[in-house]
Structure 1
C-alpha cells in the first residue's frame, strides 16, 4: 500500500463540503458556515447572559432561534425566568422564538426548514 491515501471519513467529507474545499484532515482548523444556531431554554439564558455581559448581539438573527421545550409548563421558577430572559433578548434582536408547546427544538429545526440534510 505504501503511499495510498486514507479515505475521508463522513465527518471530513461534510466539513470539506461546508468549507468549500476538496478535503480536510484531522488536526486542521477549518472555518465553516452553519445553517442555523439554536439555543434551548435550558442553556439559552446563559448564552444570552454572556452576550449581554460582553455587549454583543447576534451576527445573523435570521439564522438564529430559540426553542422553549425543556420545561414547557414553566412551573419551575428558574426555567420561567430563563424563558422570560430569552424572550426579551429575542424580541430586542429580531430572533425567532419557538415558544412553549411548539415542539422539540431539534425536530423543529428540520420541520420548519431551518436546516436540511446536506445544508
Structure 2
C-alpha cells in the first residue's frame, strides 16, 4: 500500500482507499517487481459489493513486455475465485487491446471528462 502510494505509476492502485487497513480489507492487487521496484501491476481502483474496477499501469521502460497482461490475469483469476466481478473500463486503445487479450469484448465508446487541479494553487 505505502510503496504504491509513493510511486507515480502505482499511486492510483490504492488511492481510492482511505487507509491501508481499508485496502487490505476491500482491495485486491498484484504488482511486479524488478530490482526491488514496482514496475507494473493491476489493482482494484474501487470496490463495490459484487466486484472491483480494475486499474492497471506499467512503468514506461517496461511496457510491451506483457507485464500488464500477467498482472491483470492474476488479479482477474483471484477475483473470479472469490466471486467478484473484475470490471474493465478502458481509458485508451492500449487498454482496449489488453482487455480483449484477457477475454473482454468491446461494447461502446463514450465521452468522459477529466478534471485536474493545479497543485500550485493549494
Same fold (TM over 0.5): no
- Higher CA-based Rg: 1
Q: What TM-score results when the alignment is normalised by the length of structure 1?
A: 0.29
Structure showing greater relative contact order (alpha-carbon pairs closer than 8 Å, 6 or more residues apart) = 1
